C-alpha cells in the first residue's frame, strides 16, 4: 500500500473539507454520525460484554459512516443502508478483528497506567468505579500522561485500518500496520488536524455559547442544542477527507501512487 504524504497545513484543509461535505448533504451526515454514536452507546450499556461488543463493531460502523461520506463526496445516491454497509461483504470478520486488536491495545494501555495510580483510571474507564472530580486521586496525573503517550501508537494503528480493510480488502493485521506507517508519514498534518479539532470542538463552542448567553439565555440554549448537529458530522466527514487524501477515494483496487 502506498500512502501519500502531506505537509502540516493539510490538516486544516481536512477540517474545512469536512465542512464542505456537510453543507452538501447535512441531513444524511447528521443521521449517519448520530446513529453511529447512539448504537455504540447502546452496545456499551449492555452488562459485562457491552464494551467488548462496541469495540468489535466500531470499525464496521465507522466504515458505514465513511461510505456515506464517500457517496456524498462522489455525488451518488445515499440512504440508511450505507450506514450498515460494513456488515455486508467478505471483510466483516477482518473489520471485527481490527476492533478486537484495538480493544486489546486500549486495555493494555490502561493496565500499564495502573502501575502509576493503582488502577483508578482503569476502573473509571471500564465503568466499575464512578468518577468524582472532587476526590483526591493520587497518581492520576501520571497515569493520564502514560495512557496518552501509549495510546498514540494504538490509535495510529487503528486510524486508517477500517478503510484499508473495507475499501482495499487488506487483512486486519496488515491494515493496522499500513495505518500505523501512514500516520508516521503524515504526523505533521495529523498534528494540525488534531489542533483544528481541538479548536472546533473545544474552544469555539464555549466562546459562541458564552457570547450567546450574554445576548439571550434562549439563544444560548438553542445554540447548545444545534452545535452538535454541525460539529459531529463535520468531524466524521473530515475523517473521510483524511483517509481519501492519504490512500485515495476508490475502493476494491490499489490506489494510485
C-alpha cell read off for 120: 483508578
In tens, the pLDDT along 80-118 reads 889 999 998 889 999 999 999 999 999 999 888 888 877
Interatomic CA distance for residues 35 and 41, integer angstroms? 10
Interatomic CA distance for residues 107 and 207, integer angstroms? 35
Query: Residue range 182-205: average pLDDT?
Result: 94
Cell numbers 441531513: residue: 27
Q: How many CB atoms neighbour CB 164 within 10 A?
A: 28
Nearest to 8 by CA among 208, 226, 186: 186
Please name the residues in contact with 137: beta carbons below 8 A apart, sequence gap of 6 or more: 117, 120
Whole-number pLDDT of residue 143:
82
Please name the residues in contact with 107: beta carbons below 8 A apart, sequence gap of 6 or more: 122
Backbone angles phi, psi at 256, to 5 degrees: -65, 150
Whole-number pLDDT of residue 127:
66
Whole-number pLDDT of residue 257:
31
Whole-number pLDDT of residue 242:
96
C-alpha cell read off for 202: 473545544
Interatomic CA distance for residues 170 and 126, integer angstroms? 31
State the chain's mean pLDDT as an integer.
Answer: 89
Q: How far is CA 88 from the centre of its chain?
A: 21
Q: How confident is the model at residue 134 (pLDDT cuts 50, 70, 90)?
A: low
Whole-number pLDDT of residue 212:
87
Report DSSP letters for the chain, one per residue. -------TTHHHHHHHHHHHHHHH-HHHHHHHHHHHHHHHHHHHTSTTTHHHHHHHHHHHHHHHHHHHHHHHHTT----HHHHTGGGSSTTHHHHHHHHHHHHHHHHHHHHHHHHHHTTHHHHHHHTSS---TTS--TTHHHHHHHHHHHHHHHHHHHHTHHHHHHHH---HHHHHHHHHHHHHHTHHHHHHHHHHHHIIIIIHHHHHHHHHHHH-HHHHHHHHHHHHHHHHHHHHHHHHHHHHHHH-S--SSPPP-
Nearest to 117 by CA among 104, 105, 131, 103: 131
Q: Tell me the pTM.
A: 0.90
In tens, the pLDDT along 15-68 reads 999 999 999 999 999 999 999 999 999 999 998 899 999 999 999 999 999 999
Query: Residue range 218-230: average pLDDT?
Result: 90
Q: How far is CA 68 from the centre of its chain?
A: 15
Whole-number pLDDT of residue 131:
62
Q: How confident is the model at residue 120 (pLDDT cuts 50, 70, 90)?
A: confident
Nearest to 60 by CA among 88, 25, 78, 86: 86
Amino acid at each position: 500500500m502506498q500512502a501519500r504524504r502531506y505537509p502540516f497545513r493539510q490538516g486544516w484543509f481536512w477540517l474545512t473539507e469536512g465542512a464542505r461535505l456537510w453543507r452538501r448533504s447535512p441531513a444524511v451526515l447528521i443521521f449517519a454520525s448520530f446513529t453511529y454514536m447512539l448504537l455504540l452507546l447502546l452496545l456499551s450499556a449492555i452488562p459485562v460484554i457491552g464494551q467488548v461488543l462496541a469495540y468489535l463493531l466500531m470499525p464496521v460502523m465507522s466504515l458505514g459512516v465513511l461510505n456515506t461520506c464517500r457517496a456524498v463526496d462522489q455525488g451518488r445516491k445515499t440512504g440508511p443502508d450505507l450506514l450498515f454497509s460494513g456488515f455486508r461483504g467478505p471483510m466483516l470478520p477482518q473489520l471485527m478483528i481490527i476492533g478486537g486488536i484495538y480493544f486489546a491495545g486500549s486495555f493494555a494501555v490502561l493496565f500499564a497506567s495502573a502501575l502509576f495510580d493503582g488502577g483508578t483510571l482503569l476502573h473509571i474507564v471500564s465503568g466499575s468505579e464512578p468518577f468524582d472530580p472532587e476526590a483526591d486521586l493520587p497518581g492520576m496525573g501520571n497515569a493520564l500522561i502514560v495512557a496518552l503517550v501509549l495510546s498514540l501508537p494504538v490509535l495510529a494503528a487503528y486510524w486508517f485500518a477500517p478503510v484499508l480493510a473495507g475499501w482495499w480488502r487488506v487483512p486486519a493485521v496488515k491494515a493496522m500496520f499500513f495505518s500505523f506507517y501512514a500516520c508516521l508519514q503524515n504526523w505533521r498534518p495529523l498534528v494540525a488536524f488534531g489542533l483544528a479539532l481541538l479548536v472546533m470542538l473545544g474552544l469555539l463552542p464555549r466562546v459562541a455559547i458564552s457570547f450567546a448567553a450574554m445576548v439571550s439565555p434562549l439563544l444560548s440554549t438553542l445554540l447548545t442544542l444545534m452545535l452538535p448537529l454541525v460539529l459531529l458530522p463535520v468531524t466524521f466527514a473530515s475523517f473521510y477527507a483524511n483517509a481519501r487524501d492519504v490512500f485515495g477515494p476508490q475502493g476494491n483496487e490499489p490506489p494510485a501512487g
